[in-house]
A and B are shown apart, each in its own frame.
Chain A
């Protein structure tokens, strides 16, 4: 706590580090609240149509591959752990550990985005199940849709939700990776100390939030109607 009043650590508008930290934390949480409602619009539409077109959504969900969804979930949980430990290292002033954990977090996040785009989405493209861009389900996909008696239109609607929801999520991941990289540079230069790690903590909150969104997206998109 000592030294908190020494100039640069506390911006001019604040009285002390305590106030600065509390403000930053409150601001970040409010920002996350807006994020909840940002995704909320999507969840609202999703819930509505899932209720209206259960067969279409079930069939659509069965076109996705559970193994991807589960793998992403594990990756994100791991990255959340590394992030939490990173914040902890910052709190304790362990620069090396902080750098290591940030690197791990970035790698996990980047891997997530890479796998999603390169393998899952590209795979969807090859299977002709990308609405608007490449939409002509055939073979196994078509068989599944017919088996469940779903209307192709409703399946397309589901796939649209799938791409938009995971797309917006991936966008958040990309932004997150960007922020982490910036933090990494700062951490490398030794900008953080037990007196001064607000940015790491706030970025951590954001990262965990993105993880939470995925925790919901996984069952909502990949596990509809079971896989039995």
Chain B
């Protein structure tokens, strides 16, 4: 019928990749990369999620509307995060009241 039948081999390959990436992400956590630990962890997670979506969830073989639904979900998540964090991250930009600066002592 309408569905797309993928080969067993493909599924198993994807599966193997996912397991390998899990090992990788766990391993990387034990190496000191500073702030890049987080970047690496997230990048690997994104790759893993994409593999699942594309192959296990057949996104690669489904019509455009599905992709739009997914894009909307991710896009709206980004809006939620970006604008909320924009508030919290720019709060400290507000200059400290001038009366403070008048008495600023040298940094210690």
Contacts and interface: CB of A to CB of B under 8 A. Distances in A.
Whether A and B touch (Cβ < 8 Å) is answered with: yes
Given A211-B52, A212-B49, A219-B44, A43 B77 contact: yes
Interface residues of A, number: 59
30 contacts: A17-B2, A21-B1, A21-B3, A32-B69, A33-B69, A33-B76, A43-B81, A44-B81, A48-B85, A74-B19, A83-B56, A88-B6, A91-B3, A91-B5, A201-B3, A204-B56, A208-B52, A208-B53, A212-B53, A215-B45, A215-B48, A216-B49, A218-B25, A219-B25, A219-B44, A223-B29, A224-B38, A226-B31, A228-B29, A228-B31
Contacts of B33: 226
Contacts of A85: 8, 11
Interface in B21-78: 22, 25-26, 29-33, 37-38, 41-42, 44-45, 48-49, 52-53, 55-57, 62-63, 65-66, 69-70, 72-74, 76-77
Contacts of A153: none
Contacts of A211: 52, 56
Interface in B6-20: 6, 8, 11-12, 14-15, 18-19
A31 B100 CA distance: 52
Contacts of A4: 1
Nearest to B76: A37
Contacts of A208: 52-53, 56-57
Interface residues of B, number: 50
Q: Is the interface of B mostly helix, strand, loop or mixed?
A: helix
A39 to B, nearest CB: 9
A29 B53 CA distance: 11
Contact of A77 (B15, B32, B66, B74): B15
Contact of B80 (A29, A44, A219): A44
